[in-house]
Amino acid sequence: MIADYDPPVTILRPRDLAHLFIVHAPGNMVFAVDIGFNLTMIGLARWTALIGLATLLALPARAQTSAPGGETPDAGESVSLEQPAIFEITPVSGTLKETVQQGQELVWRARTSPNDRRFQVTNISVALLREGTAGQVKMTFAGDISSLGYRPVDEAKLNIIVRTKGGASIYSWSFGISVRCSDNNRPAPLTEQIPSDLSTNVFTNVGSVEIAEYREPNYPSMKVRRCP
């Protein structure tokens, strides 16, 4: 306490400031209140410095930086599928139908830089195989996965839509593919068993398939991280 200062002033140690909050009072006075509810009156000329020091002590040790666009670096970079891949289906035999490959590929690009590829699936094929006398039908997806220096935070989710020759949708299959940083044309075969009550109609009337990015309301956008 400095007795000859009008009004009297108490000198506070820095470690005391963490327990204080500042309250304005009438008559150009300020109260510094500690957690024990002891009041110390300080002069108006002193309170600005006290608030500044208390604010510095309350700041976090390290501020988190944000990447352009408001995302933190750990959140990943948003990407999207360049365009769906559409294939015609032709019979190979009485029990097998396959897609016609014409260079179609699935490419994910950065949303903020559409010219930059992040990963891709090439050499794609879809086949429908009818097995046994019960009419069971399996649909297979195959493609070569390549990481172009990036990998998805989660699986890349796709949707295959089976259509008739007239374009009507008669079946759909959603699935995810994993991408590793080491992938360079890694084969990724997947199989779906079509339900028996739909299999005959699907196998008989299929005319084309469309492979597109999976989309549902509130489904999060695809994000990738750079490979180490």
Supply the pTM of this predicted model.
0.66
Structural contact between residues 114 and 153, judged by C-beta atoms closer than 8 angstroms: no
132 in helix, strand or coil? coil
Which residue would you say has higher pLDDT here, 39 or 18? Answer: 18
3-state helix, strand, coil in the chain (%, to 5): 15, 45, 40
The alpha carbon of 210 is separated from its chain's Cα centroid by a whole number of angstroms, namely 24
Are 202 and 168 within 8 A, CB to CB? Answer: no
- At residue 63 the predicted structure's pLDDT band, cuts being 50, 70 and 90, is very low
Taking only the tens place, the pLDDT of each residue in 71-121 is 445 668 999 999 999 999 999 999 999 999 889 999 999 998 888 999 999
Instruction: Give the rounded percent of residues in the chain with a pLDDT score beyond 90.
Output: 57
User: Would you say 22 and 52 are in contact if contact means Cβ atoms under 8 Å apart?
Assistant: no
State the pLDDT confidence band at 27, using cuts at 50, 70 and 90. low
Strand partners, 213: 158
pLDDT digit string, tens, across residues 163-197: 999 999 999 999 999 999 999 999 999 999 999 99
**Calpha distance 61→63 (Å, rounded):** 7
Query: How many other CB atoms are found less than 10 A from the CB of residue 204?
Result: 13
Question: 103 — alpha (psi -120 to 50), left (phi > 0) or beta?
Answer: left
